[in-house]
Amino acid sequence: MVTLTATRPTAVPTTYPTKLLIDGHWVDPLDGDSFPTINPATGETIATVAAAGPKDVDRAVKAARQALESGPWSRMDAADRGKLLYNLADLVEQRAEELAALETLNCGKTINDSRGDIQGVINTLRYYAGWADKIEGRTIPVRGNFLSYTLRQPVGVVGQIIPWNFPLLMLAWKWGPALACGNTVVMKPAEQTPLSALRIGELAIEAGFPPGVINLINGFGETTGHAMVVHPDIDKIAFTGHVETAKIIQKNAADTLKRTTFELGGKSPNVIFADCDLDAAVEGAFHAIYFHGGQCCTAGSRLFVEEKIHREFVQRLAARTQTRRIGDPMDPNTQQGPQVSQEQLDKILGYIALGQKEGANLVVGGNRVGDRGFFVAPTIFDNVRDEMTIAKDEIFGPVVGVLPFQSMDEVIERANRTHYGLAAAIWTKDIDKAHLFAKRVKAGTVWVNCYHVVDATTPFGGFKMSGQGRENGEAALEHYTELKTVTIRLR
Taking only Cα atoms into account, the Rg of the chain, rounded to an integer number of angstroms, comes to 23
Contact 400, 303 (CB under 8 A): yes
Give dist(CA 92, CA 207) in Å, integer. Answer: 10
Q: Which of 263, 306, 394, 471 is catalytic?
A: 263
Total number of residues that touch ligand ADP (CB under 6 A): 17
Q: How far is the CB of 35 from ligand ADP (least distance, A)?
A: 11
**Of residues 163, 366, 404, 467, which one binds ligand ADP by CB under 6 A?**
163
Judge whether 343 counts as a catalytic residue.
no
Q: How many other CB atoms are there within 10 angstroms of residue 439's CB atom?
A: 9
Q: How far is the CB of 371 from ligand ADP (least distance, A)?
A: 24
Q: How far is the CB of 219 from ligand ADP (least distance, A)?
A: 7
SS3 state of residue 50: strand
Which range binds ligand ADP by CB under 6 A, 28-36, 116-124, 185-193, 457-465?
Answer: 185-193
| 188 sits near ligand ADP (criterion: CB under 6 A) | yes
Nearer to ligand ADP by Cβ, of 381 and 396: the residue is 396
| 230 sits near ligand ADP (criterion: CB under 6 A) | no
Q: How far is the CB of 298 from ligand ADP (least distance, A)?
A: 15
Nearer to ligand ADP by Cβ, of 120 and 159: the residue is 159
Contact 23, 63 (CB under 8 A): yes
Which range binds ligand ADP by CB under 6 A, 3-11, 238-246, 313-321, 327-335?
Answer: 238-246
Nearer to ligand ADP by Cβ, of 218 and 472: the residue is 218
Give dist(CA 190, CA 217) in Å, integer. Answer: 10
**Of residues 81, 226, 231, 464, which one binds ligand ADP by CB under 6 A?**
226
Beta bridge partners of 51: 33
* Phi-psi map region of 101: left, alpha, beta (phi>0 left; psi -120 to 50 alpha): alpha
Instruction: For the segment 248-267, give every residue that binds ligand ADP (CB under 6 A).
Output: 248-249
Range 239-248 contact pairs with CB under 8 angstroms and sequence separation of 24 or more: 239/160, 239/161, 239/162, 239/263, 240/161, 240/162, 240/163, 240/170, 240/173, 240/174, 240/264, 240/297, 241/161, 241/162, 241/163, 241/190, 242/394, 243/419, 243/465, 243/466, 245/221
Nearer to ligand ADP by Cβ, of 161 and 391: the residue is 161
Contact 206, 126 (CB under 8 A): no
Which range binds ligand ADP by CB under 6 A, 76-84, 167-175, 216-224, 459-467?
Answer: 216-224
Contact 150, 137 (CB under 8 A): yes
Q: Which of 98, 191, 297, 306 is catalytic?
A: 297
Nearer to ligand ADP by Cβ, of 115 and 259: the residue is 259
Nearer to ligand ADP by Cβ, of 115 and 174: the residue is 174
16-28: b (≥16 Cβ within 10 Å) or e = bbbbbbbbbebbe
Contact 2, 126 (CB under 8 A): no
Beta bridge partners of 460: 471
Q: How far is the CB of 372 from ligand ADP (least distance, A)?
A: 22
Nearer to ligand ADP by Cβ, of 249 and 349: the residue is 249
**Of residues 194, 201, 212, 221, which one binds ligand ADP by CB under 6 A?**
221
Give dist(CA 43, CA 257) in Å, integer. Answer: 41
Beta bridge partners of 259: 236
Nearer to ligand ADP by Cβ, of 121 and 129: the residue is 121
> Cα-flanking dihedrals φ and ψ of residue 140, to 5°?
-125, 130
Give dist(CA 239, CA 254) in Å, integer. Answer: 15
Which range binds ligand ADP by CB under 6 A, 221-229, 305-313, 363-371, 412-420?
Answer: 221-229
Give dist(CA 47, CA 57) in Å, integer. Answer: 22
Q: How far is the CB of 317 from ligand ADP (least distance, A)?
A: 27
Judge whether 181 counts as a catalytic residue.
no
Ranked by CB distance to ligand ADP, the top (closest) residue is: 221
**Of residues 47, 229, 314, 465, which one binds ligand ADP by CB under 6 A?**
229
**Of residues 31, 69, 206, 222, which one binds ligand ADP by CB under 6 A?**
222
Instruction: For the segment 102-161, give every residue that binds ligand ADP (CB under 6 A).
Output: 161
Catalytic positions: 263, 297
Binding region for ligand ADP (CB under 6 A): 161-163, 188, 190-191, 220-222, 225-226, 229, 241-242, 245, 248-249
